[in-house]
Amino acid sequence: MSISEKTPLAQEPALVVDDVVKRFGRGTEIVTAVDHMSFSVKQGEFVSVIGPSGCGKSTLFNIIGGLLSDYEGAVKIGEERISAPHPAVGMVFQEESTFPWRTVIDNVAFPLELQGVPKSERMDRAHHFIDMVGLASFENAFPSQLSGGMKQRVSIARTLVSQPKILLMDEPFAALDEQTRLLLGDKITQIQQELNQTTLLITHNLTEAVQLSDRIVVMTYRPGQVKRIVDINLPRPRTSDVVGSDAFGHYVAEIWNDLREEASRGMADSESAASRRAAHG
């Protein structure tokens, strides 16, 4: 049963990002990475944050994940302000993050092992999530025997196994080819719908964001602010077939219009920084 059939999106926000500011450096060298950002994610909703490279997406990911505690404003789960990793948030990182010395099943069961869950129970739960990400026949394989996409699925299963309230992902498919990315997108959509999983995806990939999301938060280039929040009214349950639809193309074009200006600023900024570096030898 899909989420759309099961329950309508609850109105209570699962996550609130409230006027968050993050600055790096000191004195005259201060760089504002995130500048007064506010948005919320409802229970069961899939929200993507999209912006050009260098706009502060990863900083926002680290703040929401509790890896950066020194920030202004508030990221809240319920009434609790996040200032350290929170058990309600499960993180999937951009870089490949499986443990090469553990088998797939031991990787997935790892968070449960830390929680002291008895072995038989943690193996059962790990089996379930490995099956969910489609790696049932690779339980005893080591990461070195898997492809990049399979390793990311192991990371996703490892995050889901502790049943976090919010799944937070930072460009998990960035290193994968377009076809694998689309297919993994299907997998993520399927899992999200099956678990009614509140998900926040940080990405710079426009098609990925539209394919997966209920809403997209478009960020400006440095300092990172919310430029616009776009509702994606594509039907659910959704598969990668949606990329061929007119509505999909319409959303991609609309968001690209917003992003183009920001991406151009980012590119100009990088070029002038490179020129300065070249001038200084």
Stretch that binds another protein, among 20-28, 101-109, 183-191, 235-243 (CB under 8 A): 101-109
Decide if 201 contacts 15 (C-beta within 8 A). Answer: no
Min CB(148)–another protein separation in Å: 14
- From 106-114, 208-216, 253-261, 269-277, span contacting another protein (CB under 8 A): 106-114
What lies within 8 Å, CB to CB, of 271 at 6+ separation is: none
2, 32, 43, 97: residue in contact with another protein (rule CB under 8 A) = 97
Q: Is 80 in the site for another protein (CB under 8 A)?
A: no
According to the 3-state scheme, what is the secondary structure of 122-190? HHHHHHHHHHHCCCHHHCCCCHHHCCHHHHHHHHHHHHHCCCCCEEEEECCCCCCCHHHHHHHHHHHHH
Nearer to another protein, 110 or 221 (CB): 110
Asked if 84 is part of the footprint of another protein (rule: CB under 8 A), the reply reads yes
- Indicate the DSSP class of residue 51: -
Number of neighbouring beta carbons within 10 Å of residue 267: 14
Residue 103 near another protein by CB under 8 A: yes
Strand, helix or coil for residue 30? coil
Is residue 148 close enough to count as binding another protein by CB under 8 A? no
The residue from 32, 36, 39, 93 that contacts another protein (CB under 8 A) is: 93
256 sits near another protein (criterion: CB under 8 A):
no
Residue 84 beta carbon to another protein: minimum distance, rounded to whole angstroms: 8
Q: Which stretch binds another protein (CB under 8 A): 47-55, 137-145, 193-201, 218-226?
A: 137-145
Q: Which is nearer to another protein, 67 or 247 (CB)?
A: 67
- With binding defined as CB under 8 A, does residue 139 bind another protein? no
**DSSP β-bridge partners for residue 215:** 47, 231
Q: Which of 95, 131, 178, 241: binder of another protein (CB under 8 A)? A: 95
By CB under 8 A, tell whether 142 contacts another protein.
yes
The number of helix segments (H) and strand segments (E) in the chain equals 8, 10
Calculate ∠ Cα 259-263-266, nearest 5°: 145
SS3 13: strand
CA 97 to chain centre: 14
Nearest distance from residue 14's CB to another protein, in Å? 17
Give me the residues that bind another protein (CB under 8 A), please. 65-67, 84-85, 87, 89-91, 93, 95-97, 99-103, 110-111, 114, 142-145, 162
